């Protein structure tokens, strides 16, 4: 006997795709005056300003080596070259001011003062060279 086999018709599942909601493009706007005025960086202490690179290195070696960064900032003021030695990175001006009292006495006699890192970054001489 011969048995004829016929293929059963295949059932195809149809998946109906619905279009995904269109995501609206995000508009990027420049910062507002208020946002631009907010300090992005912290504060540091200008320990001394000297006229030569050799003196920068001399002062930097004498600063406490306690994990705080030490930088130099080079600038020209009225034709004179100055190298500022900057110490520390503090969140607030008050923290930086308080840290001045923890500096060795001979540094305190140099009348160090708090300086905004933003002010340096936005100045004509924004380069900070890390010394440690």
Tracing tokens 């340096």 back to the chain, one arrives at 120
What contacts 46, CB < 8 A, 6 or more positions away? Answer: 84, 85, 86, 112, 113, 114, 115
Pick the CATH number of 39-130 from 3.30.70.1070, 1.20.1250.20, 3.40.640.10, 3.20.20.70: 3.30.70.1070
What pLDDT score does 71 carry? Answer: 95
pLDDT digits (tens, 9 = 90+) for 94-123: 999 999 999 999 999 999 999 999 999 989
99: left (phi over 0), alpha (psi -120 to 50) or beta: alpha
Residue 126, sorted as left (phi over 0), alpha (psi -120 to 50) or beta, turns out to be alpha
Q: Where are the domains of the chain?
A: 39-130
Predicted pLDDT of residue 38: 62
């Amino acid at each position: 006997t011969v048995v004829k086999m016929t293929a059963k018709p295949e059932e195809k599942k149809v998946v109906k795709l619905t279009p995904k909601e269109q995501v609206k493009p995000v508009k990027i706007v420049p910062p507002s005056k208020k946002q631009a005025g907010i300090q992005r960086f912290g504060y540091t202490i200008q320990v001394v300003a000297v006229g030569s690179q050799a003196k920068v290195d001399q002062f930097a070696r004498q600063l406490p080596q306690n994990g705080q960064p030490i930088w130099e900032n080079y600038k020209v003021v009225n034709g004179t070259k100055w190298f500022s030695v900057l110490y520390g990175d503090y969140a607030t001006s008050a923290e930086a001011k308080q840290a001045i009292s923890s500096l060795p006495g001979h540094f305190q006699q140099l009348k160090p003062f708090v300086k905004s890192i933003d002010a340096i970054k936005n100045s004509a001489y924004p380069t900070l060279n890390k010394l440690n």
